[in-house]
Structure 1
Amino acid sequence: MQLISKLSLSLVTVSTLVLGGCQQFTQPQTPASPMVEAENQFHLQGKIGVRTPQQSGSAFFNWLQQQEQFDIELSGILGVGKTQISGQPGQVTLNSAKTGTIQAATAEELLQRATGWQAPISHIIDWVQARPATTQAKVAYDSQRRPTQFLEDGWTVDLSYNEQARLPNRLILKQTFESGQENRITMVIQNR
């Protein structure tokens, strides 16, 4: 039972932080497209799965982003195990019945404290909007000039699209270690 509790806490923490990063990097300038959502303003619903060498799990998410402020709700099947995450520059808060309230200055800091691993959590805001988070990213494109892969800060991010959509409906984030093991985060966006 204790192992299940630790696994649940780790999944909630990682999912929370993956979905709750705050913008911290200067964005490359890209032309505006009428089909693209307003920058850093979106509402996403879907499912997230996290797999590390030590554990794996999944949750449903509802993510509202308004510029640099966000509100995310994570839950299991039938809404069981709800976790609320909110953030703004300088403060990220996670609240659930299992953990109580946990706060940190950034999502990356909260992830490090809670799980011991480091990840560029704030980049996900850009990645779900089909753009790199930094100017150092290596980007691959499809025939429609949509990004299909980012190589950025030690992560490989594969993006998939529905038909002619300009924004991805699936992201797979992978961090591979020298041992061949990896951390993998899969996000399926069902509604935008």
Structure 2
Amino acid sequence: MTLLLGGCASQMASDVAGDLTRSEGDWQQQATQLDALTHWQLAGKVGIRTPDEGHSANLDWQQDGDDYRMLITGPLGAGRTTVTRDADGVRLNSSDGDFEAPDAESLMLQQLGWSLPLGALNDWVRGLPSEGTHQLEEDAQGFPATLYQDGWKVSYQDWTRAEGLWLPRKLKLYYGDLTATLIVNQWQAL
């Protein structure tokens, strides 16, 4: 199920020999490291549910600063869909063709019928709020539990420890009648 997108990467290995219990203060101790983690890759599954339909797919996401490449395979991506952002803009490549737009959200809405805030999701998937106004509720250990930002509700439901960092393993995003679920099976630092 996992497809590595290439490049020289050091896998963020699970801390199997270490303490896998989150403790109060862990989040604050790693916040600076998470903010500096701007070149990474994850592999997992994504599910999208609207009142009319629900789909899921495999997701391979490579983040390189502000640029990214997302490979979506399976029913949600109608086979194989790639969303890429770089200095030239945002492109979507699918079995229906190649499409470009100034931002990912409008491109996804136009071509897929739904959209996720990919710019903010880069931060949210690391457990961080994006730039701008937000409200954050913490759990008993001080980790993000629920984040409200730009009309979205992000619910952090499970965490995994990789290479000394606690990272979200399962999160749900809600916006109006759209629900997105992301389950991360693998993290890698690039």
Same fold (TM over 0.5): yes
Counterparts in 2 of 1:89 and 1:160: CA distance versus 1, 3 Å? farther
Look up the SS of the partner of 1:72 in the other structure. Answer: strand
Q: For residues 117 and 50 of structure 1, what CA distance do their matches in structure 2 show?
A: 9
Structure 1 runs of 4+ aligned residues shifted over 2 Å read 30-40, 111-121, 160-165
Q: For residues 159 and 175 of structure 1, what CA distance do their matches in structure 2 show?
A: 15
- 8 Å CA contact 2:68, 2:84 repeated in 1: yes
Counterparts in 2 of 1:96 and 1:116: CA distance versus 1, 3 Å? closer
Q: For residues 34 and 138 of structure 1, what CA distance do their matches in structure 2 show?
A: 19
Q: For residues 31 and 143 of structure 2, what CA distance do their matches in structure 1 show?
A: 12
**1:105 aligns to 2:133 (yes or no):** no
Partner of 1:44: 42
Identical columns (%): 28
Deviation of 1:162 after TM superposition, in Å, equals 3.3
Q: Which runs of 5+ in 1 are unaligned?
A: 1-29, 177-181
Question: Which structure dedicates a bigger proportion of its chain to helix?
Answer: 1
Deviation of 1:59 after TM superposition, in Å, equals 0.4
Q: For residues 90 and 64 of structure 2, what CA distance do their matches in structure 1 show?
A: 14
Partner of 1:95: 93
Match of 2:155 among 158, 161, 171: 158
Look up the SS of the partner of 1:129 in the other structure. Answer: coil
C-alpha RMSD of matched pairs (Å): 2.7
Partner of 1:185: 180
Q: For residues 122 and 40 of structure 1, what CA distance do their matches in structure 2 show?
A: 12
Q: Deviations over 1:28-68 (max 9, x none)?
A: xx875586374322110000000111221010011110101
Q: For residues 119 and 84 of structure 1, what CA distance do their matches in structure 2 show?
A: 14
Q: For residues 121 and 109 of structure 2, what CA distance do their matches in structure 1 show?
A: 16
**1:127 aligns to 2:116 (yes or no):** no
Q: For residues 71 and 112 of structure 2, what CA distance do their matches in structure 1 show?
A: 19
Look up the SS of the partner of 1:125 in the other structure. Answer: helix
| Alignment TM-score, normalising by the size of structure 2 | 0.71
- 8 Å CA contact 1:89, 1:106 repeated in 2: no
Counterparts in 2 of 1:136 and 1:113: CA distance versus 1, 3 Å? same
Partner of 2:141: 144
Counterparts in 2 of 1:115 and 1:191: CA distance versus 1, 3 Å? closer
Question: Which structure dedicates a bigger proportion of its chain to strand?
Answer: 2
| Alignment TM-score, normalising by the size of structure 1 | 0.71
Q: Which runs of 5+ in 2 are unaligned?
A: 1-27
